[in-house]
Structure 1
Amino acid sequence: MLRIDLVMMEHIQAQTCHARRGALKNAFRYGVDYVLSDLHDTGPALMSRNRFNLWSLWDRRHGGPRGDGRGLAWFRQVLSERGFPVENAQLLLLTQPSFLWVHFNPVSFWIALLEGKPCAFVAEVNNTFGDRHCYFCAHDDFRPIGRTDRIIAEKLMHVSPFQKVAGRYVFSFDMSGGAIDIRINYENGDQGVLATLAGARRPATNASLLWAALRRPFGAARVVALIYWQAMILYLKRAPFLKTPEPPEPLISDSHTFRRHQ
């Protein structure tokens, strides 16, 4: 496995693909812009931390309850409670930044590296109903997570009105020196959805961030519009529409692969 060295702040001009399994098929692919940051260096002038800009990262939007996050301090606490050697780790956030004043992020990833290799991550999942649940993913001995490893977690939060809160997520997490390739396979019997996020790792620059704003304007508003567009397609295909249940408690759950506290 390659060592991962973060170059300042990185801009991942990625592709996301969702493919639904079962009797009713649906699939789509879109371009998305993520950044990878240790939240210590704000990077280019068009990107700011905790203040308004063309693009921005806000501590309150990540790490903890939705809208009331604590950023890196929360991730550090989550790791420490599970016995992870935080003092030797590099902690990163992979997320879609806010665009102007608009923010929505279906999934972000908190990543803990040891000797440059990913050894734990938290999938921070948000739905369009204002809820959040976080899935802590690691091996029980915190060995590096390789591209062929499968991290399994029980699905606990309602994400789509067309999928039940049942079954499991199977995470595949490949973070090499040159690219990121994440696969989330939702499995519930013969039903499910495969979601992927893949893109090259390159330094974030004012030019790349300005090009992203021109190429994919409206940022998070575009993401929400695409989610509702796909929901309308499923509705027209007569997919069963389910009521929204209460969000789960507590905020974070451990994957089946991590057994230290189970």
Structure 2
Amino acid sequence: MAVSAPITPSIVHTAIRHVRTEPTRNEFEYRSYSWLVDVDELPVLPRGLRALATFDAGDHLGDPDLSIRDNLEAYLAANGVGFSGGRILMLTNARVFGHVFNPLSVFWCLNGDGTQQCVVAEVHNTYGERHCYLLETDLRGAARTPKRFYVSPFNDVDGEYRMRLPLPDSSLHLSIVLAREGQAPFVATMSGDVVPATTRHVIRSALAIPLAPLRAAVQIRYQGIKLWAKRLPIVPRPHHQPQEAVQ
């Protein structure tokens, strides 16, 4: 079934919410903005505004000397998925004044006829590591996958993720639930409006939320300090085994 692909490039004004219920409750929400782009047509802002958004293959999976498309296709091939030449839409944070942090980037891989072949969710932690989840989503954009990657120092890698990652149109509604037997100790949601990435919207977004990627990194670390202060036990970080074609 063909999906309705949004106009790119676009700015997504987001509200990001994290809710932790086990072993202690903690929740927070912050405003930010992301970019929705076609990896073959990455935006290049006018010279005077370029520091507000740049896109670098080195910020994502694979070989930093290759393109994002080449790296994503290599990852898919390494996982037995034949995909070549279709459209790839990416939701991500751009570099702002040289800084970027992407807790989650999402890649929607569309066939030439407009049908969606798969989704790749790329997760980064604050230790400089990354992991990709290859998903076959249903018509609601939902999929399940075992948790394989250490993200929070207060959660091990047990359980599964129940994700809903539908391709946005005029709005975005994503959710990730960490599920364990009889409980869902962590839920993250990301929602917002999608608008064309005109010069006016780029400037307004940057003024409304300066250094948005840095703010995300600070929020995550600040919440970690709060949980540590509550004496929440820290789970030792296991050795990270890099995935083929990811890093």
By the TM > 0.5 criterion, same fold? yes
Deviation at 1:251, TM superposition (A): 4.7
Q: Which moved more, 1:183-192 or 1:12-21?
A: 183-192
Name the amino acid aligned to 2:157.
V
Contact 1:170 1:185 in 2 (8 A): yes
Name the stretch that deviates more: 194-203 or 75-84: 75-84
Q: Tell me, yes or no, if the aligned pair for 1:98 and 1:219 is still in contact at 8 Å.
A: no
Question: Amino acid of the residue matched to residue 19 of structure 1?
Answer: V
Q: Which amino acid aligns with 1:21?
A: T
What is the distance in 1 between the residues matched to 2:127 and 2:159? 21
Unaligned runs of 5+ in 2: none
Structure 2 partner of 1:179 = 171
Q: In 2, distance between residues paired with 1:214 and 1:191?
A: 36
**What value does the CA root-mean-square deviation take over the aligned residues?**
2.6
Alignment partner, residue 120 of structure 2: 122
Structure 1, unpaired ranges of 5+: 140-144, 254-262
- Report the TM-score when normalising by structure 1: 0.82
Corresponding residue for 2:92?
95
Q: Does 1:156 align with 2:148?
A: yes
**Residue 177 of structure 1: CA displacement?**
2.7
Instruction: Using structure 2 for the length normalisation, give the TM-score.
Output: 0.87
The match for 1:72 is 69
**In structure 1, C-alpha distance between the alignment counterparts of 2:65 and 2:37, rounded to whole Å:** 20
Secondary structure class of the residue paired with 2:51: coil
Contact 1:47 1:54 in 2 (8 A): no
| Counterpart in the other structure of 1:134 | 132
Count of aligned pairs between the two proteins: 243
Identity %: 25
Give the deviation of 1:69 after TM superposition. Answer: 6.7
Structure 2 residue corresponding to 1:223, chosen from 190, 198, 216: 216
Amino acid across the alignment from 1:79: L
C-alpha separation in 2, matches of 1:63 and 1:167? 24
Give how far 1:252 is off: 7.3
Measured after TM superposition, the shift of residue 111 of structure 1 is 1.2
